[in-house]
Structure 1
Amino acid sequence: MKAFIFDLNGTMIDDMSYHTSAWEDILNNDLGGNFSYEQVKQNMYGKNSEVLVRMFGENYFSDEQMTALSFEKERRYQSAFLPKLQLLPGLSEFLETAYLQNIPMAIASAAIPFNINFVLDNLNIRKYFSAVVSADDVEISKPHPETFLKAAELLGMPPAECVVFEDAPKGAEAAANAHMQCIVLTTTHQTEEFSYLSNILNFSSDYTSDYLKDLLV
C-alpha cells in the first residue's frame, strides 16, 4: 500500500450524529416529513441532493431548492459541531508520520466543498493532502467507485496501491468497486454491517490501534 485515501465525515472526525440531526431537523421540521432518526441515518449517504431524492422521491424539489437545502443543512451542522470539531484520536500523529514518510494522501468525500473546507481550514490540515475530491467533482456517488478512482488518479497512483479509510458500508463498498482495500473506522456503523464485503483489512475505533501504527513502521 503506497497511498492513503480518506473519507471525511465519520472517518477523520466523529460528526455523523450531527449530520443526522441536521438532516432530521430539515426533513421533518422544515419539509414536513415524518422520518425517524434511524431512517435518516440509514439513508444519509451520497450527495445531499441524492439524500433528498431518496427521502422524497424524484422531481419533488427543483435543483435550486436542493442546492439551498443542502447549504442550509451544512450551515446547521457546522453551527452545532464547530465547538466539538477535532480529529479522531491518533489521527493527527498518523497524518504527520505519513506526511514525513512522503506517503501520498487524498480526501475523497461525498461532502460539498463548503463542508470539506470547514474541516480542513479549521483544523489546519490541508497541507497533508495532495488531492481533494468532493461531491462537486463526480457524477455518481458512492458506492460507485468514481470518487476513489478520481482520488487515485489525482495522486498518480494505481488503485491497487491505495488503501481507503471509511466509516460507512456504502463507502467501503465503493472502495471494493474501485479494487481498493479498506480500513473501517467504527464511529458510525457496527462491524456486522460490513459482513458482505471482502476488502476490509481492519476495524478500528480510532487511529491509536496497533494495526494502524504498524502501517507506518
Structure 2
Amino acid sequence: MKAFIFDLNGTMINDMEYHTRAWQDIMNTDLGANFTYAQVKEQMYGKNSEVLIRLFGEGRFTEEEMQQISLEKERRYQQAFLPHLALLPGLQDFIESAHKHNIPMAIASAAIPFNIDFVLDNLNIRQYFKAIVSADDVTISKPHPETFLKAAQLLGVKPADCTVFEDTPKGVECAANAGMAAVVLTTTHVANEFAHLGNVVHFCDDFTGDYVRALVG
C-alpha cells in the first residue's frame, strides 16, 4: 500500500450514534421539528449545513444561523461522547505500524476542524497524519471525490495507490469516484448497504483482523 486515508467519525471512533442524537436533539428541541432517529441517521453525511438544508429545505436558515446551529450541535456531541472517546480496537497499533513502515496517512472527513481537533488532541494521535482534510477545505462534499482527491494530493500519491477506510455508503461512493479501494468499518451500516459499490475490498468491525493487519505487515 502506498497511502491510507481515513474517514473520522464512525471509522476511527465509534461515535455516529452520538452525532445522530445530538442532531435529533437540536432539530426537535431547538428547531421545532419532529424527526425520528432513523430519519436523521439517513441524512448523516456531508457538511453540517448540507444536513440542515436536506432536512429543512433551502433558505430556511442563513449561513450565519447554520454555523451557530452547527457549533451548538458539536458542543452537545462532544459533551456526550467525551467519556467514551477511544479509537476502534486495533487502530492505535495499526497507525503506529503504518507510521513505522513510512506509509503516509491522512484524515479526510466532512467534520469541521472543531471536531477533528477534539479527536486528535484528546487521543494524542495528530503526529501520525501527514494531511488533514476537513469540511472547511473542500467545496463539494462526499460523495463528490474532492475530499479524497485532495488528501491524496497532499500526501503526494496517486489516487489509485490509496486505500480508504470508511463506514458509510456515501463515503465509499466518494472513494469509488476518486478511483480508490475501500475497507468498510461496519460500525454504522451493514454490508448489504454497500452492495451497489464495486470498490469495497473488505468489511470489518474494527482493526484487529488479519486482513487489516496484513496491510502494513
TM-score range, shorter chain: over 0.9
Map of 2:17 onto structure 1: 17
Map of 2:113 onto structure 1: 113
Paired amino acid for 2:152: A
Map of 1:34 onto structure 2: 34
For residues 139-165 of structure 1, the C-alpha deviation after alignment (integer angstroms, 9 at most, x for no partner) is 000000000000000000000000000
Distance in 1 (alpha carbons) for counterparts of 2:132 and 2:65: 26
For residues 188-209 of structure 1, the C-alpha deviation after alignment (integer angstroms, 9 at most, x for no partner) is 0010000000000000000001
Distance in 2 (alpha carbons) for counterparts of 1:44 and 1:32: 19
SS at match of 1:116: helix
Map of 1:183 onto structure 2: 183
Distance in 2 (alpha carbons) for counterparts of 1:97 and 1:122: 21
How far the C-alpha of 1:216 sits from its partner, in A, is 1.2
Alignment gaps of 5+ in structure 1: none
SS at match of 1:102: coil
How far the C-alpha of 1:214 sits from its partner, in A, is 1.0
Paired amino acid for 1:55: L
Distance in 1 (alpha carbons) for counterparts of 2:210 and 2:33: 44
How far the C-alpha of 1:109 sits from its partner, in A, is 0.1
* RMSD over equivalenced CA pairs, Å: 0.4
Map of 1:204 onto structure 2: 204
Residue pairs, 1:86-165, within 5 angstroms: 86-165=86-165
Paired amino acid for 2:211: Y
Paired amino acid for 2:26: I
Q: Tell me, yes or no, if structure 1 residue 81 matches structure 2 residue 81.
A: yes
Question: In the comparison of the two structures, how many residue pairs are matched?
Answer: 217
Map of 1:69 onto structure 2: 69
SS at match of 1:18: helix
How far the C-alpha of 1:84 sits from its partner, in A, is 0.2
For residues 2-59 of structure 1, the C-alpha deviation after alignment (integer angstroms, 9 at most, x for no partner) is 1000000000000000000000000111101111000000001000000000000001
| TM-score using structure 2 length | 1.00
Show structure 1 runs of 4+ deviating over 2 A.
none
| TM-score using structure 1 length | 1.00
SS at match of 2:132: strand
Paired amino acid for 2:61: F
SS at match of 1:164: strand
How far the C-alpha of 1:61 sits from its partner, in A, is 0.1
Paired amino acid for 1:6: F
Distance in 1 (alpha carbons) for counterparts of 2:28 and 2:128: 38
Paired amino acid for 1:33: A
Paired amino acid for 1:154: L
Paired amino acid for 1:75: R
